[in-house]
Structure 1
């Protein structure tokens, strides 16, 4: 059987005024990715697929996000807000190309899945003109009801217009629709605006399909999957659902989450085998954690690679561009950024390693800092294999510490240190016998005079 071509139109023009934010609604994040990106990633990307995103005027950031996630996406601008059907027709140029299936989705439903989109298309292969996604609501108040007779969808009745019997229906409209591409444009163009707001509502397509003697059907899914986001509270609810999914998927894949409800993951996190995540860990986008690694409590990791059997934390911050080699140990209150730490490196306490490359099996003592910023530019620190950096040392970049070199504690290193050399930089210590006693006496006398 020849595969059917598809066009997915994602409506993402809403301002999201109830979010109380200057940022367009669809750019707010869930599990480290924008609402829009979740929907675009669920849309068909196979051969014969097209993707159109309808945005609002001056929403260049939304267009850029669409292209970042799906370079094949076309964007169209809805310049007037005249309803959902009007928004779909903003993508008329894409629709007229005549894909076999036309799917209409919303950019603020991040929990929608690729499997559901595929189920929406299935009835079209059997001759249906329209498939509408529905869900059984725990509380249907405010939702449009799906009125079904003899197994066929005959109407979508808005709550305000529904009869008493219709309000008792719990099967509600999720908004997502799939049209037979050959009939889609004709159906949508028939939608009028004879309503109180003078807008063109896509839900009217059901009545038009019925009047044309064509078939409309309902595809059901769970309520969580079609949660739309209009407020920050709803954003938090969607985050909770997504995190529950991600935690379950991680544990099913063999990751040990000691207290799952306290761990926050990103949708793109990659785990190896036998990884252990302790309580209160946050893993942001772009993180991979290899076999046998342990992430200890209260650590935060983003855009980083953690090698096999590495140990991170507790209380560690692993920032963008960090790569930890196999068996590396990053201890409590250590921060790394744009740093490569090769196999067996130890940075166990209270250190900052930024814009650096640390050779295998080196040891950075407590309080070590790579001074990478001079107020204008970032500079790199290179530490050779097997080097030892004593506690409370500052390495002022750009600087190179050679293989097997030793830096004495408390040193401020501004010049390169050769392989196997010893570098010590500190002022000469002086001792004044009885000096502490004399100091206390002077201070006590001065304090007594002040209090008279």
Structure 2
């Protein structure tokens, strides 16, 4: 439930070839900047390099008040709304929504991801059609500044990294005003209740109600 293959449908991202080099998604974080710069050089003329190392698809809608830092790629039909702050090292997939007062830093957003209202997403990878409700954020540094450890009920994985946000699998729904603590992993098709404080590994097809109550979704035949 931690691996890239288990979390993501790679055909829904320009990062497919890059991500296949790694077993775990957090291993990809360190190279996102360099990956975007090299990928940008290979894009066809449907993208426009609007400033150095910033490529925006001609069908994307980027509000004039948005800040786009380098390096960055914004995909087809994506919408970057008023007051968005993309600090750099961001791959924004096709049909994504980056909303008002949203901040992105060192991230990969798969296609159709929505971070539409007052979200902070840093050092994170968000899978296909994942959605973060208004005010939900990824916390990417521990308060004690120690290295992040990925923790499940059965094991702990030392990452060797100080900064890791959250890894959201495909179709994850995060409720409004939730905080995803450093190293949070959320499996495919899982839902997080609003105002939750989430840490550790949440299995796929789960509903996170609180830290003591995580239930499996019922299968509808």
Please indicate, yes or no, whether the TM-score normalized by the shorter chain is above 0.5: yes
Q: Identify the residue that residue 122 of structure 2 maps to in structure 1.
A: 354
- Change in Cα spacing, 1:359 to 1:388, as seen in structure 2 (3 Å) is same
Paired residue secondary structure (2:52): coil
Paired residue secondary structure (2:201): coil
Q: Identify the residue that residue 425 of structure 1 maps to in structure 2.
A: 210
Matched, 1:408 2:193: yes
Q: Identify the residue that residue 293 of structure 1 maps to in structure 2.
A: 60
- Change in Cα spacing, 1:287 to 1:336, as seen in structure 2 (3 Å) is same
Aligned mate of 1:374, from 136, 142, 161: 142
Contact kept, 8 Å, 1:271 with 1:289, in 2: the verdict is: no
Q: TM-score, normalised by structure 1?
A: 0.32
Quick one: distance in 2 between partners of 1:333 and 1:391?
A: 15
Question: CA-atom RMSD, angstroms?
Answer: 2.3
Q: Per-residue deviation at 1:381?
A: 1.3
Give unpaired runs (5+ residues) of structure 2. Answer: 1-40, 146-161, 213-221
Q: Per-residue deviation at 1:290?
A: 1.5
Quick one: distance in 1 between partners of 2:53 and 2:73?
A: 8
Runs of 4+ in 1 over 4 A off after TM superposition: 270-275
Q: Per-residue deviation at 1:271?
A: 9.2
Q: Per-residue deviation at 1:297?
A: 3.0
Q: Identify the residue that residue 397 of structure 1 maps to in structure 2.
A: 182
Q: Per-residue deviation at 1:425?
A: 2.4
Contact kept, 8 Å, 2:46 with 2:58, in 1: the verdict is: yes
User: Greater share of helix residues, 1 or 2?
Assistant: 1
Q: TM-score, normalised by structure 2?
A: 0.64
Contact kept, 8 Å, 2:140 with 2:164, in 1: the verdict is: yes
Q: Superposition pairs for residues 43-442 of structure 1, below 5 Å? A: 273=46, 285-302=52-69, 303-375=71-143, 376=145, 377-425=162-210
**Cα deviation 1:182-204 (Å, max 9, x = unaligned):** xxxxxxxxxxxxxxxxxxxxxxx
Quick one: distance in 2 between partners of 1:417 and 1:333?
A: 28
Contact kept, 8 Å, 2:198 with 2:211, in 1: the verdict is: no
Give unpaired runs (5+ residues) of structure 1. Answer: 1-267, 276-282, 428-452
Which structure carries more relative contact order (alpha carbon 8 Å, separation 6+)? 2
How many equivalent pairs are there? 152
Quick one: distance in 2 between partners of 1:387 and 1:422?
A: 10
